[in-house]
Structure 1
Amino acid sequence: MHPALAGISLVVFDLDGTLIDSAPDLAVAVDATLAERDLLPAGVDKVRHWVGNGSHKLVERALADALGAAAESLDAGEIDAAHDRFLAYYADAPCERTQLYDGVHECLEAMRERNIACVLVTNKPVAFLPAILEQFTLASFFALTLGGDSLSEKKPHPAPLLHAAEHTGVAPARALMVGDSRHDVQAGKAAGFRTLAVTYGYNHGEPIADSAPDHVTDSLAVLAAD
């Protein structure tokens, strides 16, 4: 068994950039939102750098980039309006171009076989989760799924992770946070979880090792190994 799982009874997984590559569909919705305002498209490469703090922050970053302005200078009402349009576009097609990363199903099947509880904690709005989980047949693996708007706080705040631990009856010291960004690592450390980070996701262009997770891997398949 991978050393990250030694003594672990709960694994909390991030979604975007960890289990799924959702950036292509997010980029389509972002670019449609920008097009309504006669702004140039951002494209998927920029969107990959902006994902991680929830959809509202994603739209804020896209508007700031397209307008060549600081995010702090943007009108809050304009951001809110653009965010509403983004949500509508994304709801129309949340998984047309999204792909499941290699090793995900093997990893989750292994957790089930070992009776290790799994919880999904993402900053993506919870309304989008059912369709995505159904698309990739992931729902049955999770004892609980939390979106960025499920609680009053979202990652990097530890509250969602602590809620997951309480829900499953597992002490934080026996829990592992698996994610792709510094926000996941920060949330895991703040909650008293062990942390494992994947190298392939969205981390604002920074090497995930810089966030000093307890473990780093190129594939979740390593968690399925005996």
Structure 2
Amino acid sequence: MIALLDLDGTLTDPKTGITRSVQYALERLGRPVPEADALTWMIGPPLIAGFTELLGGSDDAQDAVRFYRERYGDVGLFENEVYAGIPALLQDLREEDVRLYVATSKLQVFARRILDHFELSQFFSEIYGSEPDNRNADKRDLIRHILEQERFDPARAVMIGDRKHDAIGAKANGLATIGVTWGYGSRQELIEAGVACLVDAPHELPELILSPTAPMPRQASAP
């Protein structure tokens, strides 16, 4: 079995680093700066898309991304915390011979630095992310790229993530998605995006990944 895992909101909680870097970018642009809690929706979508929406257009979005990365690449990526249970989950999956990949809209170089910092890189066959020119920032493009590089059967793989973009990208490439509820997407968002099921804690994942035909404990349906 093969599992693709999102990074932000799935493996680590990046709220502090991302929101502070967004605030920094807005300050550099001379724009109003919302409180951190009003910016958590920026966690997950491609950065350029998030800034385009936040700024009401694309005119300043590229500059915003540049300012964001200026701070994030220096300190923001380490203002981060691994979710409880994630190292044990990854260890268990590797011991069961599950091939693990990171699939994140974050810059690949940033993703690798974060995973190296938290000593999680060892669990992954490869770490995939976006490029500085925004290539593969869209999860549909990213997962397509992973399939082209790794040449595995999408029917043997599952995407695991906390936002609708994970499910949309997976569906476009023939993968099922397991939605995790400890990140930044709501249950409703994940259900509407078409996840196969929802899980509330990392320890629930191995049974679903290792026995994909087994009955799922929580079918993704509206409450």
1:14 Cα offset (Å): 0.6
User: Contact 1:17 / 1:180 at 8 angstroms: preserved in 2?
Assistant: yes
Indicate the SS of the match to 2:130.
Answer: coil
After TM superposition, the score normalised by the length of structure 2 is 0.82
1:37 Cα offset (Å): 3.2
Gap runs ≥5 in structure 1? 1-8, 65-70
Query: Is residue 94 from structure 1 mapped to residue 76 from structure 2 by the alignment?
Result: yes
- Quote the residue 1:15 is aligned against: 7
1:206 Cα offset (Å): 5.0
Question: Aligned ranges for residues 47-86 of structure 1 at < 5 Å?
Answer: 47-62=39-54, 64=55, 71-72=56-57, 74-75=58-59, 78-86=60-68
Match of 1:185 among 167, 175, 186: 167
- Quote the residue 1:155 is aligned against: 138
Query: Is residue 175 from structure 1 mapped to residue 157 from structure 2 by the alignment?
Result: yes
Distance in 2 separating the partners of 1:154 and 1:59: 13
Indicate the SS of the match to 2:87.
Answer: helix
Distance in 2 separating the partners of 1:100 and 1:125: 18
Distance in 1 separating the partners of 2:161 and 2:32: 31
Gap runs ≥5 in structure 2? 211-223
RCO (CA 8 Å, sep 6+): is it higher in 1 or 2? 1
- Quote the residue 1:67 is aligned against: none
| C-alpha distance 96-119 of structure 1, shift in aligned 2 (>3 A) | closer
Indicate the SS of the match to 1:124.
Answer: strand
Instruction: Identify the range of structure 1 (85-94 vs 166-175) with the bigger mean alpha-carbon deviation.
Output: 166-175
| C-alpha distance 28-152 of structure 1, shift in aligned 2 (>3 A) | closer
- Quote the residue 1:68 is aligned against: none
Letter in 2 for 1:186: I
1:179 Cα offset (Å): 0.6
1:205 Cα offset (Å): 8.9
Identical residues among aligned pairs (%): 25
Match of 1:42 among 21, 31, 34: 34
Indicate the SS of the match to 1:202.
Answer: coil
Instruction: Identify the range of structure 1 (191-200 vs 173-182) with the bigger mean alpha-carbon deviation.
Output: 191-200
Cα RMSD of the aligned pairs, angstroms, is: 2.3
